[in-house]
A and B are shown apart, each in its own frame.
Chain A
Amino acid sequence: MTDPYRVLGLSPGASDDEVKKAYKTLAKKYHPDVAGNSEEAARKMQEINAAYDQIINHRADYSSSSYSGYSGYSSSYGYGQESAEPIELRAAVSYINARRYREALNALSSIPPEKRSGRWYYLSSYAKAFSGDSSGAISDISIAISKEPGNMTYLAFRERLMGRRTEYTMHTGNYSSSPAGLCSSICLSMLFFRFCCCMI
């Protein structure tokens, strides 16, 4: 697979800001308004989009060996599981890979509650997380984990979900009048201690 950083003309380890700037510059260059409706430009645009998506959205997957990059989603189930898998779950995976999360949730909802496996809850959690329902995502991944306690993929995904909250509070720390009492419950690290001007 091509190095997504190279697609954007960057060296690996470039910062998010650099990735975003590079993406925008290239996106402008290959925009139909500038480049016309050529096939070449459209293909280039797809490459740039995929590279951006891979760096920004799948970084965790990219750097860990349990996944493999952009198509990592399906590949983590690549060991013959698919054939035994209900068609609704396979459809959900395709939708997720196409970033069509609501359709993924639709496909999943056709499986009756008593037949929902750990994997069902994982896929549901994944689709919810990317369509904005984080509390639903957290509750679903917890069920997935309770059904298959040793599954590293599920555990890693829960970490990632919880990481959002930590990241958010880290950012709020940059503002001296950070949300009142915000830190009191989730100030986990000494690093942020000095920002904890908890008023409650």
Chain B
Amino acid sequence: MFGYLTADVGQMQKEEKAEYKAHYCGLCHVLGEKYGKTGMAALSYDMAFLEMLLADLTDSKAEEGMEKCVTHPLKAHRYVCTGCTEYAADMQMLLAYYAAYDDAEDEGKKQKLQKLGRFLPELREEYPRQDEAIVSALKRIREEEKKGAKDPELMARLSGSMISEVFAMDPESFFADDLRALGFGLGRFIYLMDGWCDRKKDSKKGSYNPFSSDARWEDVKEMLIDAAADAGSAFERLPLDQHVPILRNIIYSGIWMRTRREEKNGDD
């Protein structure tokens, strides 16, 4: 379920693109430093979004560097780390572990789970609130899946509750609830989008999918807009002033990239 919070790069200014990329590389840098190759393999745009959001909100100081990396070995490139990069990296690892756990249950892929599992005890100890939210939501999702529930909104809300705690980095912050609402909307959106995009694959494999076979895109689109609008409204309530154009690009355009791709492929 990763990679939905991406930018619509075609609609970005050159400087915005460079800034976005530098933060993405900063996240990768910290993942590599703290978690090695396993960490770098877990990198996603979703947590790059979270990092930029939290860094802007908390006015976190940015530190820059230049480096060559595994994917870009020839030319040194700029990366930016802030006081929120480590949090985003840690959340990335926590979410990656539970995604791998899900895969292992579904398809018996154990190797990735083992690699990520090494870091779990520490992450759990440091982030019990986020861990608990993820574990309890996933448990409910599993139960509903076993029942074969075809209630996409219910499932999406469970997914939202899990992401909302991840977004609330500091629960004491005056803006914790707005961050939760933003995470909740995006979590809902991602779940619905993921379910819709995977429905054909799931039906071929006989896997669970929240949508019934006669679900219509018009109805799904309404649910998606609803979730996105919720995220948008929470986003606009936050006092942000550094990365607003980039973050808006993601919330208002980037998150829809998948549907556009689907339509191009003549899927709908």
Contacting residues, chain A, for B164 (C-beta < 8 A) = 132
A174 to B233, CA, bound (A): 16
Contacting residues, chain B, for A1 (C-beta < 8 A) = none
Interface of B: prevailing SS: helix
Q: Does B225 belong to the interface (CB within 8 Å)?
A: yes
Q: Indicate with 1 or 0, residue by residue over B170-201, a CB within 8 angstroms of chain A CB atoms.
A: 00001001001111110010000000000000
A171 touches B217 (CB 8 A): no
A57 to B239, CA, bound (A): 12
Interface of A: prevailing SS: helix
Q: Does B39 belong to the interface (CB within 8 Å)?
A: no
Contacting residues, chain A, for B228 (C-beta < 8 A) = 168
Q: Does B106 belong to the interface (CB within 8 Å)?
A: no
Which listed residue, A135, A176, A200, touches B268 by the CB 8 Å rule? Answer: A200
A164 touches B230 (CB 8 A): yes
Total residues of chain B contacting the partner, CB 8 A: 46
A179 touches B239 (CB 8 A): no
Which listed residue, A16, A56, A132, A186, touches B184 by the CB 8 Å rule? Answer: A132
B239 touches A23 (CB 8 A): yes
> If A175-B252, A177-B260, A180-B256 touch, does A52 touch B239 (CB 8 Å cutoff)?
yes
Q: Does A114 belong to the interface (CB within 8 Å)?
A: no
Which residues of chain B have a CB within 8 Å of any CB of chain A?
8, 10-11, 59, 153, 157, 160, 164, 174, 177, 180-185, 188, 217-218, 221-223, 225-230, 232-234, 236-237, 239-241, 248-249, 251-253, 256, 259-260, 263, 268
B226 touches A134 (CB 8 A): yes
B59 touches A20 (CB 8 A): no
Top-9 shortest CB links A-B: A132-B184, A168-B229, A175-B253, A179-B256, A20-B239, A132-B181, A134-B230, A164-B233, A168-B232
Q: How far is the CB of B179 from chain A (nearest CB, A)?
A: 10
Contacting residues, chain B, for A21 (C-beta < 8 A) = 241
A134 touches B185 (CB 8 A): yes
Contacting residues, chain A, for B221 (C-beta < 8 A) = 181-182, 185
A186 to B10, CA, bound (A): 25
B232 touches A176 (CB 8 A): no
B234 touches A177 (CB 8 A): no
Q: Indicate with 1 or 0, residue by residue over A132-175, a CB within 8 angstroms of chain B CB atoms.
A: 11111010000000000000000000000000110111011011
Q: Indicate with 1 or 0, residue by residue over A53-77, a CB within 8 angstroms of chain B CB atoms.
A: 1001100000000000000000000
